[in-house]
Each structure stands twice: as C-alpha cells, then as structure tokens.
A and B are shown apart, each in its own frame.
Chain A
Amino acid sequence: MLPNFTYERAGSVDEAVEHSASEGAVLHAGGTDLLGCLRDGVFTAEKVVSLSGLEELKGIQATRDGGLRIGALTTLTEIASDATIAERYTALSQAAAAAASPQLRNQGTIGGNICQRPRCWYYRGDFHCLRKGGDTCYAIVGENHFHCIFGGSGCYIVHPSDTAPALQALGASVRIASRSGTRTVSLDDFFVLPADDIRQENILEPGELVTEVVLPPLRTGTRSVYRKVRDRGAWDFALAGLAAVVLMDGDRVQEASLVLAGVAPKPWRAADAEEALAGGSLDDATIARVAEAAVSGAQPLEHNGYKVQLVRGLMEETLRGLEA
C-alpha cells in the first residue's frame, strides 16, 4: 500500500502553486510516475496536490502567431491523435504515440512526461544514491547498460522522455507558474545536467509547475520525425531515440534540429551533427559525416558502448528516411 499523505485538489493554478510550495508537497497530474515513485520509496510525500480538476490546463489550441499551445494536463493519447499535431509537428505526434503503453498514454500527461523522474534501477531501487541525497552512484561500476553516453558527471542517468526531445527539436517552450507569476522557458534551458544539480532533472523549484507547452510556428517545408529504438516492439523506454526537424531549401538542408533521447541525463542536442548537416544535402557522404559527428565526444560506460553505434545507425537511417 502507498504510504499515507494528505490530499488537496487544487481549484486553480494559484491554489496549486500555494499548496505545492509547502515542504513535502508533490504534484499529481496523471499520477502514473508519481504513484510508482511513492511505491518504490524514491521520495516521500507529505501532501499530494492534484491538478486533475484544472480544466484550463487541458487542451490544444492555436496561438495567435500560428503556433500551438498544449495544456500541461493534455494526455499523450490526446496529443498522439491530434490531426494538427500529426501534420505540422509530426515528431511530437510520433513521440507521444511511442511512449509507454496505451493505458499509460490515456492517463499520462505531457507536463508529467517531460518532468518524469529517471528509470535508473538504482535510483528506483533500495539504493541511497547521489540523486536521492546519498553519497554514491551505483551505476558507474555497476549494471550501466541503460545509462548515459553523454553529459554524465557523478550521476549517469538518461532522461526517459520521448516527447521532451521532440519538443526541444521543434523549438518548444514551457510556461511555468509560480508565486512570482508566470514565465516562459525554452526547452533548451529547462533541463539540468548532474554537473549543475545532481538532485533534479529540470529547473522547477517547489511551488512551481508547468502549465502549458508552447510550440512556435514552423516555416513551410519543415519536416520532422521521431524514431525510437527499444528492446521490444512496444511498451519500453528508448535505448536511443532521435527527434529530427529539418527545413529543406530545394535539396539542401537549410536548418536542422537533432535531439537525442535515451543517451544523456537530458534530451541531448546533437549540436555537432546539426552543424555538419546545415547547408548540405541528404546524400550518403553527408549523412555518414553527420552520424559520426553525432557520437563525437561520447563517453560510454562499461556496458553501454552499444549506444554509440546505435546512435550512428539511428542518425543515418532517420536522415535517409527524411530524404525519401
């Protein structure tokens, strides 16, 4: 049985901010990560603040500048089945459809998906690791098959989300509500590496919550895709994933945004690969160069070296697929 907690159903965003600012308060959106964390004792909750009554945080609407606004409580199923998102922000549609399982997509929200806690089995297990306030990372010399090849430092988790890389590649931002008002933060600046803060994966402080995700308008001719590689055909986290957003000018790549899932403690922008791709065409030689650039600087651990070749192949296949 879950440990005991008091339960508050917020009647407004302001109420949610107030309630969640207190010590030991946690936010409940879909609850699908929260309940797992509480059950595994990853953290404790004195108070659960439910957002589920906040209708203003649900739904998908066009913004005045031709972009899209998605309420943080919009479920992954709602996003995966939205025709506008499928057509214009394809990478997000595909990422949402590839996450978890049908039941979890029906309940899990986009806000919860980008804020979800890591799946590292030491973190989720009975190990008092660095991220939980202990003094050891068990993965460094342990079973690190599913840990990171980029961005690790002290802690070697991967960020588990599929939608976060897609959103970042599409240039999305999040709106964050707090006691001091609302602010907008680009996904590029939302996530945190262990070197900067080993205790949290994003910049949210107690008393802050994501209220919506905002997608900018994309220029005509922009194409995007999300490709997820996993052990199983469905219902599994990514061994590696790639969100690719490409704007073509004839047969030349005018602009490219390449963000990887499953390889780093945050969605990993393959900046060198983006640079190698910009201005080039999608021919075999360029693609090979881009794939090589994507893994430059990779620092595999004892058991996750396969991810290096996996990222190369993922980059090559995805880009070739875009050319078609």
Chain B
Amino acid sequence: MGKKTDKPGSKSGLSRRNFIGTVGAGALGAAMVGPGTATAKETQAQTDGHLVASLNVNGRRLRVPIEARHTLLEVLRDKVELTGTKEGCGRGECGACTVLVDGVPKYSCMTLAIEAEGADITTVEGVMNGEELGQVQEAFVEEDAFQCGYCTPGQVMAVEGLLMQNPNPSIAEIQESMSGNLCRCGAYDHIFKAVRRAAELKAAGG
C-alpha cells in the first residue's frame, strides 16, 4: 500500500506529518533533537523548570522537553507527533491508548512520560513494515476487525504484546488478554479472529 520512500518510514519514529518538513529543509522540531545535541531551545526549556525526558520511541532515541505531569499519551501525540495512539477515556479504562513499554502493553494515558524514560516504547506506527502494514494490522484488515477504527491502534498493540508472549493463543486466552481493550462498535468477534489470523501470519513469517 503506497510507494516506498527512500528514507526509513514510520519505524524511525518520524510521523508522516513532519516528514515533508524535515526532508530538504533539514530542520528538526524542538521535540526531535538527536542524542547529544543541545539546542538553545532545550537549554532554555531546562531553566524554565521543565524536564527533558530521554525516550526511546519505535527504535529512535529522542530527547523531549516535557513537564513531569505530562502523560506518555500526551507526549507521544502532542510532542512527538505520533497521533496513531488514541485517547478514548483518559482514565485507564478503555485501552485505546495502549502502547508497548519494553514489549508489555500499558495504558499510555496512565503513564507519566517521565516514568517511561529508558524503556523501549512501541506505538502503532512502530509496527508498520516501512510503509506497508505489519502482520497484526494486515490481519485486522483481512478479518474486518474494526468499524470506526478508533480503538484499533490500541487493539493492535495489545495483540502485538500478546503474540510476543504467546505466539499461539487459544480463543479463551485471546479473550482474556484483550479484555483491557473496549470496542464500542462491537467488533470483538472479528478482533478475536484477527488475532488468530495474525498468529498464523507471524508463524508463517509473512
């Protein structure tokens, strides 16, 4: 789906939104300073009483100026501009904000960004295959496992976490592992089938 680009795609942590702005102009936003580079902006941010968090997002090391009260969800969406992760409830109840932290599914709305320092954070952008869908996403498309699609990134990340722990889950195990992700459209049946399909795709190495 879509043409391949010659710059690494979403796996790098860059979002499509700022991709155009970064290529050619060579400018990176204050949120995306590479390791070891201190800009004047960053120094000023520190003296303002803000923190600078070292976050590893989708394999890319970032230094992001934040406040301690910022959740991981807010930082991912507003600072790192990876808007695939959604806010469904903001209360740690619906699972739409699920990301992987060191491979483990967690609610990013209930995680302080500063608490995620040092961990490997994976968002839905990070399970793409360049510009192609990853296997779990592919399975969701094949099994028609979403209607409005709003809960879907969270569902996908919960599945990714599940299949890392249990590559061949039974339906009962799937239901248990996905119980932290609500779908108001009611696509559950299709979601469970998509998990089985994703397990097949991963096993086949496809």
Which bucket holds chain B's interface residue count?
20 to 34
In A9-56, which residues have CB < 8 Å from any B CB? 28, 31-32, 35-36, 39, 48, 50, 52
Contact status B115-A101, CB under 8 Å: no
- List chain A residues, Cβ under 8 A from B179: 101-102, 233-235
Give Cα A235 to B175, complex, Å: 11
Contact status B71-A104, CB under 8 Å: no
A318 CB to nearest chain B CB (Å): 21
In B156-206, which residues have CB < 8 Å from any A CB? 158, 175-180
Contact status B158-A36, CB under 8 Å: no
Given contacts A107-B106, A235-B180, contact A4 B67 (CB under 8 A): yes
- Chain B residue, CB-CB nearest to A106: B104
- List chain B residues, Cβ under 8 A from A31: 110-112, 115
- List chain A residues, Cβ under 8 A from B92: 32, 35-36, 103-104
Contact status A103-B106, CB under 8 Å: yes
Tell me if B31 counts as interface (CB < 8 A to partner A): no
Tell me if A306 counts as interface (CB < 8 A to partner B): no
Tell me if B41 counts as interface (CB < 8 A to partner A): no
A-B contact count (CB 8 A): 79
Contact status B95-A4, CB under 8 Å: no
Given contacts A102-B176, A103-B107, contact A50 B115 (CB under 8 A): yes
- List chain B residues, Cβ under 8 A from A32: 92, 107, 110
Contact status B180-A5, CB under 8 Å: no
Contact status A234-B176, CB under 8 Å: yes
Which bucket holds chain A's interface residue count?
20 to 34
Given contacts A31-B115, A39-B91, contact A48 B180 (CB under 8 A): no
Contact status A103-B95, CB under 8 Å: yes
Tell me if A6 counts as interface (CB < 8 A to partner B): yes
Contact status A101-B95, CB under 8 Å: yes
- Chain A residue, CB-CB nearest to B97: A103
Tell me if A127 counts as interface (CB < 8 A to partner B): no
Give Cα A103 to B74, complex, Å: 18
Given contacts A1-B74, A5-B69, A28-B115, contact A102 B177 (CB under 8 A): yes
**Which of B68, B74, B90, B109 has the most chain A CB atoms closer than 10 A to its own CB?**
B68
Tell me if B114 counts as interface (CB < 8 A to partner A): yes
Contact status A1-B69, CB under 8 Å: yes
Give Cα A52 to B102, complex, Å: 15
Q: Which 4 A-B pairs have the closest CB atoms?
A: A101-B180, A7-B68, A234-B179, A2-B69
A sample of 5 cross-chain residue pairs with beta-carbon separation below 8 angstroms, ordered by A number, consists of A7-B114, A35-B92, A102-B178, A103-B95, A104-B107
